[in-house]
Structure 1
Amino acid sequence: MSSLLADAAIVQKMASEPWPDDVCLYQPYKSNEVGTADSVQQVLLPDNAQCLAVQCYLQMCGLPFRTVLRTNAEHMSPSGKPPFLRAGPYVISEVDPIIKFVSTKGHSLSDKLDRPQQAEMKAYLALVQGTLGNAELYISWCDPTTASEISRPRYSSPYPWPLNTLLAYRKQWDVQNQLKALGWYSKTLEEVYDEVDNCCKALAQRLGNHHYFFKQGPTELDALVFGHLYTILTTPLTDNSLADIVKEYSNLINFCRHIEKKFFEERERGPKD
C-alpha cells in the first residue's frame, strides 16, 4: 500500500510541473555522424522505428524537445533500450513509458476517443509492437546475411576492437533469447514476412482512405505505425522484401507521406510570415 501511495504522489508531483524547456530525446547516431572513418550508420532498424515513433508522438502533441545523438545511448538508457527522454529530473525510456509520462503532463492524443475506441487502439498498438517490432528484431539479428552485413557492423561501429565484436555478438545473443521467449526465433523468414503482411493488411483495412486511424485526429497509434512503416520503407537492407510488403498497400504509403509532411516537413519550415 505504501508503494502505491508513493507512486501516486510521484505522479501527482509530475503532473503539477509544466513541460520543461530543455527536454532531450536521446538516441543512437544516424548516417555517418558516429565519427568513424566510413559512412556506417549506427542505429538499427528496430531502434530507429522506436525513436521515430517517439519523435512523431511529441510532434503531434506540439511539445518542444531536442534530439541528442549518442553512440552509447542504449547503455545510457535506464532500460537498456533507446530512445530515452530526459525531462528535468526525470529520465524515461521506451515508447510506452514516454507516452504515459507525457500524459501526466496533461498531453494525451487518445483522451478524445471513447472507451471502445481506446480499447481498439490498444489492441492495434499491441499488434504493431508484437508484429512489426518483433519482425524488425528477427530480420536484424536472426537472418544470417542481415546480421553479418548490416547489424553487427553498424552496432559495433563506435567501439574499438575487440570490444566491438564482443558487444555485437552479445547483443545478437540477447535478441535471439528474447525472440525465443516470444516464440519468434523458430519462425522462418517467409513466416516472418507473412506476419508482417497480415499486420499491414489489418492496418490498411482499419485506416481505409483516411489520414488517421481514428476520425477524431492523430493518436499514439498513428505515431507508432508511422515510426515502424517509415523506417521499414527508408532503411537499406540486404534485400527489399520487407519494404516491398508495405509498398503493396497504397493507403499506408499515403499515410506515411501525410504524417511526414504535416509533422516533420511543415514543422521544420516553421510558420509562414
Structure 2
Amino acid sequence: MTSLVADAMQTELGAREVWPNNVKLYEPYQAEQIVLPDYASCLGVRTFLKMCSLPFSRELRINAEEMSPSGSVPFLQVGAFLVAEFNPIVAFVGLRGFQLSADLSDTERAELKAYCAMVSSILGNAEKYLSWKVDTIAVEVTRPRCGSVHPWPLNWMIPMMKQRSMMSQLNSVGWADKSLEEVLGEIKSCCQALSERLEQQKYFFGDSPTDLDALVFGHLFSLLTIQLPGVDIAGDIKEFVNLTEFCQRIEEKYFKEKEDD
C-alpha cells in the first residue's frame, strides 16, 4: 500500500525536479553542543547524501532537536517536507529516485537491512550508554555539551531531563543494566562482524557505496575521533585494520577539502 508520504510527494512533484537546490539539513552546533549519539547520526546522514551526490546546505541551530518533527537530529527540509533520522531520510530520498542499493539483489538487500539493524542497535545503544550511563562521561562531557547553549537554569535542567529520557530508552531495550565491559564487548563484536563482511572490499557490497557504508562510517568515525575520559574505544576499533582504512577512504573521498569539519 502506498504511504501517505509517497502520495503527497508525488502530488507535489508532478513533472518538476526531483531534488530541489535549496534542501537544508538541520543539526546542532558541532563544536560546543552536539553529543556522541547525535554526532554519529548527523555524520551518517551527511555521508549518505554525499554518496548520493545530492546538494544540501547544513543549518546549525541551537534548538535543532526541538525543531525536529521526531525530536531527534538531524532532520532534512525538502520543500514542504521535514524528515528526521537516518532510516526515514534514506526512505524519503529513495522515493525521490535516489537509491544507493538499487543494483543489489534481493538477497543482498535483505543482508544490508540486517547489518543496518545490527549497527543501529549495537553501536547506537552503545553511544547512548557511554554518553549518559557512564558517570564520568556524563558529568564531564555529555551534560556540559547538552546544556552549553542554554542559560541558567535550563543549562542543568535540560541535560537532566535528557539523561532520564536516554536511560528510559536504554532500559526498554535491556542496555541500562549492562556493565561497561559488556558494552565495550558488544562494540568489538559488532566491529568483528563488520570486518568479516567488509574483508578487503572497498565498500561492504563491492565497489559502490550503499546505505550501510554511510551508516557504519557515521558511527565508527565518531567513535574513532571522540575523546571520552577513562575509555579507549578508538584503540579497540583500530584493531580492525580494514575498518579504519574504510573510514579513512570515505573521509578522504567525501569530506577532505570539501568541508571545514
Output the TM-score relative to the length of structure 2. 0.95
SS of structure 2 residue aligned to 1:166 = helix
The offset of 1:150, in angstroms, is 0.4
Q: Deviation of residue 257 (structure 1)? A: 0.5
Q: Distance in 2 between matches of 1:24 and 1:8?
A: 20
In structure 2, what residue type is equivalent to 1:259? Answer: I
Code of the residue aligned with 2:111 in structure 1: it is E
| SS of aligned partner of 2:25 | strand
> Aligned partner of 1:255: which letter?
F
Cα distance, 1:239 vs structure 2: 3.1
Q: Does 1:64 align with 2:55?
A: yes
Q: Helix, strand or coil for the counterpart of 2:255?
A: helix
Structure 1 unaligned residues grouped into runs of 5+: 32-40
Identity %: 47
Post-superposition CA distance 1:11-41 (Å, at most 9, x none): 433564521111110101012xxxxxxxxx2
Distance in 1 of aligned mates of 2:40 and 2:12: 27
Match among 233, 237, 249 for residue 246 of structure 1 = 237
Structure 1 residue ranges (4+ consecutive) displaced by more than 3 angstroms after TM superposition: 4-8, 14-17, 266-269
Out of 180, 191, 203, the residue aligned to residue 182 of structure 2 is: 191
- 1:58 shift after superposition: 0.3
Given that 1:102 and 1:108 are in contact with CA atoms closer than 8 Å, whether structure 2 keeps it comes out as: yes
RMSD of aligned alpha carbons: 1.6
Q: Distance in 2 between matches of 1:54 and 1:7?
A: 20
Deviation at 1:210, TM superposition (A): 1.2
Q: 1:233 — aligned with what?
A: 224
Gaps of 5+ in 2: none
Paired residues of 1:212 and 1:218 also in contact (CA < 8 A): yes
1:9 Cα deviation from its structure 2 partner: 2.1
Whole-Å separation in 1 of the counterparts to 2:6 and 2:29 = 36
Aligned 8 A contact 1:112 1:216 in 2? no
State the one-letter code of the partner of 2:37. P
CA-to-aligned-CA distance 1:58-106 (integer Å, 9 cap, x gap):
0000000011111111111010000000111111100011111111111
State how many pairs are aligned: 258
Whole-Å Cα distance in 2 between the matches of residues 257 and 217 of structure 1? 16
- Identify the residue that residue 23 of structure 2 maps to in structure 1: 23
- Please list the CA deviations of residues 207-242 of structure 1 after superposition, one character each: whole Å capped at 9, or x if unmatched: 001110001510000000000000111111113422
Find the counterpart in structure 2 of residue 179 from structure 1: 170
User: For the Cα contact (< 8 Å) 2:115–2:212, is it kept in 1?
Assistant: yes
Equivalent residue for 2:8?
A: 10
> Which runs of structure 2 are paired with 1:26-37 in the superposition (5 Å)?
26-31=26-31
Query: Offset at 1:265?
Result: 1.8
Structure 1 residues 105-254: aligned runs within 5 Å: 105-254=96-245
**Secondary structure in structure 2 of the residue aligned to 1:265:** coil
